């Protein structure tokens, strides 16, 4: 079974952190990411770009409306994603718990959401 992991943060909380605290937090991420990838179960892992570069596409009046910003209005914003292939939910949870947003960054509102998914590769 494949699972999509969405790593969230709260922009207001993250922005309230001292710059040195942000740098110290971010420095802790690569070893945790590597530990998660070392399981051999991570198919994709990515951090998402700066919110200012985001665009939202919505169907409106038979056309596609493009607007700035995150695609949903929420206090938490997706900052990264990963896809893992696990034998069952317990294994998926064990692997997802290695992600930095599941172990660090409480002060920045970090969290991980794990979602079972169907997975198709384009031909």
> What is the C-alpha to C-alpha distance for residues 41 and 20, in angstroms, rounded to an integer?
33
Judge whether residue 73 has pLDDT over 80: no
CB 33 within 8 A of CB 104: no
Residue 17: alpha-carbon gap to chain centroid = 19
Domain covering 2-117: architecture: 2-Layer Sandwich (3.30)
**Three-class SS state of 48:** coil
Give the per-residue pLDDT at 4.
Answer: 93
pTM: 0.81
Residue 22 Cα distances to 17, 18, 67, 89, angstroms: 6, 6, 29, 32
The per-residue pLDDT for range 29-58, each reduced to its tens digit, is 999 999 999 999 999 999 887 777 778 788
Give the per-residue pLDDT at 65.
Answer: 84
Q: Are β-strands 77-85 and 42-47 bridged in parallel, bridged antiparallel, or unpaired? A: antiparallel
> What is the C-alpha to C-alpha distance for residues 117 and 95, in angstroms, rounded to an integer?
16
- Our separate counts of H helices and E strands in the chain read 5, 6
């Amino acid at each position: 079974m494949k699972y999509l992991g969405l790593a969230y943060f709260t922009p207001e909380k993250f922005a309230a952190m001292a710059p040195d605290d942000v740098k110290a937090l971010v420095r802790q991420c690569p070893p945790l990411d590597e530990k998660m990838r070392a399981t051999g179960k991570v198919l994709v892992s990515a951090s998402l770009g700066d919110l200012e570069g985001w665009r939202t596409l919505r169907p409106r009046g038979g056309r596609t409306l493009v607007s700035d910003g995150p695609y949903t209005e929420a206090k938490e914003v997706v900052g990264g994603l990963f896809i893992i292939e696990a034998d069952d939910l317990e294994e998926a949870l064990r692997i997802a718990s290695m992600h930095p947003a599941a172990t660090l960054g409480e002060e920045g509102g970090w969290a991980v959401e794990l979602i079972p998914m169907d997975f198709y590769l384009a031909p």
